[in-house]
């Protein structure tokens, strides 16, 4: 929600007036300098939207404020102070506090759905920032969301694999409920979240493989230039529901330079729907985007969400620090998932992170069954794993 500031006001005053933490007000208005007067400045107030209201017969400004339980000063501000010449049936703006999530994860969660949800969340919670970290094979933006101002740098991601798109839906639901809880100063899964905002800065890439997700969920149009190629890779079948790879037929989670040379000989040697590690590490635009983001950041830990089998992989090549075991035990306590220190597997994203930086890295396998997991599992997966999301920020 945007209001027009006044010279006699401060961000602290707006924090009190709208009952929103001052840190969120400040982080929503980074365009303002410390010594700026607020007179006529556009001020972002997180956690609200503006709705038009038709004045009824005998409505007065004061009676309307009482009837709607809205502070009269807040009414003036959302109407930019222009409340002169009000008549019956005039339209005025009223501030409406957001108290329910807007993300619906229990649906076919496409790239367009995610992009629209991120845009809406950014409008309601302007302390949340978004970046484009790269583009996919088909030139879709790979989006990163940033929330928090804490010293601990935590990265999470989903949908490295196309047929694991439910991870994006779950992560977006986590994100929405986290933003809602911070702004309204409520608890999430029994935990106060405002301290997490100051403890950690969250970097979230909800959909690493947007082209693959779209292919699984929507297929390709008949005039798409890639159609003939991907059908050939898919052994002639137009059913892409089991497709894991990107549009070049490369498994994005087999692409990182963490003993890639050991993984490559035992995997498919040609592009296909799954498991082909590419002809060299980081050959794909999606993996290059993730690698560049990681190399340019100072992440203290990374958590990659996959499906399925309710396991958490937390080691690689004996390079994980001792603290990783403490963190994974907290994840297990909060989810009931099974910890697995090592696998006979190489060249994944978390493998590379541990291999290069010797910091905690985790792959969380959500849910149980055969990929793609049905959306009917969404609620159970969310309930099981919300504690992992939160522990990732506070541990």
| Residues identified as active-site | 346, 365
Q: In the block, which residue shows the tokens 């947007």? A: 210
Nearest CA-CA partner of 283 in 243, 242, 247, 240: 247
Q: Assign 3-class secondary structure to 91-149.
A: EEEEEEECCCCCCCCCCCCCHHHHHHHHHHHHHHCCCCEEEEEEECCCCCEEEEEEECC
Instruction: For residues 302 and 156, give the distance between their C-alpha atoms in angstroms, rounded to a whole number.
Output: 6
Spatial contact of 312 and 365, defined as CB atoms under 8 Å apart: yes
Phi, psi of 314 (to 5 degrees): -135, 5
Instruction: For residues 5 and 43, give the distance between their C-alpha atoms in angstroms, rounded to a whole number.
Output: 6
For 168-210, give the DSSP string. Answer: HHHHHHHHHHHHHHHHHT-EETTEE-HHHHHHEEEEEES-S-H
Instruction: For residues 315 and 301, give the distance between their C-alpha atoms in angstroms, rounded to a whole number.
Output: 12
Spatial contact of 252 and 246, defined as CB atoms under 8 Å apart: yes
């Amino acid at each position: 929600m945007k209001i027009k500031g006044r010279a006699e006001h401060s961000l602290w005053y707006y924090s009190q007036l709208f009952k929103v933490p001052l840190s969120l007000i400040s982080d929503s208005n980074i365009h303002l300098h410390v010594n700026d007067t607020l007179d006529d400045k556009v001020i972002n107030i997180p956690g609200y939207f503006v709705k038009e209201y038709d004045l009824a017969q005998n409505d007065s400004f004061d009676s309307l404020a009482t009837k709607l339980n809205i502070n009269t000063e807040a009414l003036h501000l959302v109407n930019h102070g222009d409340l002169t010449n009000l008549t019956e049936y005039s339209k005025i703006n009223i501030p409406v506090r957001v108290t329910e999530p807007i993300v619906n994860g229990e649906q076919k969660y496409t790239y367009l759905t995610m992009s629209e949800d991120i845009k809406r969340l950014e409008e309601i919670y302007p302390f949340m920032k978004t970046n484009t970290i790269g583009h996919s094979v088909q030139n879709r933006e790979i989006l990163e969301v940033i929330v928090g101002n804490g010293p601990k740098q935590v990265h999470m991601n989903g949908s490295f694999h196309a047929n694991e798109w439910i991870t994006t839906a779950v992560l977006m639901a986590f994100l929405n409920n986290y933003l809602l809880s911070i702004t309204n100063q409520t608890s999430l899964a029994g935990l106060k979240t405002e301290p997490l905002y100051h403890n950690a800065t969250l970097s979230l890439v909800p959909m690493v493989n947007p082209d693959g997700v779209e292919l699984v969920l929507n297929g390709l149009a008949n005039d798409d230039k890639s159609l003939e190629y991907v059908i050939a890779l898919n052994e002639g079948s137009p059913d892409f529901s089991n497709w894991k790879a990107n549009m070049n037929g490369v498994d994005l989670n087999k692409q990182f330079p963490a003993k890639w040379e050991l993984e490559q000989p035992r995997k498919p040697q040609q592009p296909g729907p799954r498991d082909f590690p590419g002809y060299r590490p980081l050959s794909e635009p999606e993996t290059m985007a993730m690698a560049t983001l990681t190399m340019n950041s100072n992440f203290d830990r990374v958590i990659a969400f996959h499906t399925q089998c309710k396991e958490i992989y937390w080691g690689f090549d004996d390079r994980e620090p001792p603290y990783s075991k403490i963190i994974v035990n907290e994840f297990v306590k909060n989810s009931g998932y099974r910890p697995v220190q090592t696998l006979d597997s190489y060249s994944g994203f978390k493998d590379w992170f541990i291999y290069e930086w010797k910091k905690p890295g985790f792959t969380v396998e959500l849910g149980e069954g055969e990929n793609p997991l049905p959306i009917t599992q969404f609620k159970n997966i969310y309930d099981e794993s919300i504690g992992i999301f939160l522990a990732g920020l506070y541990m």
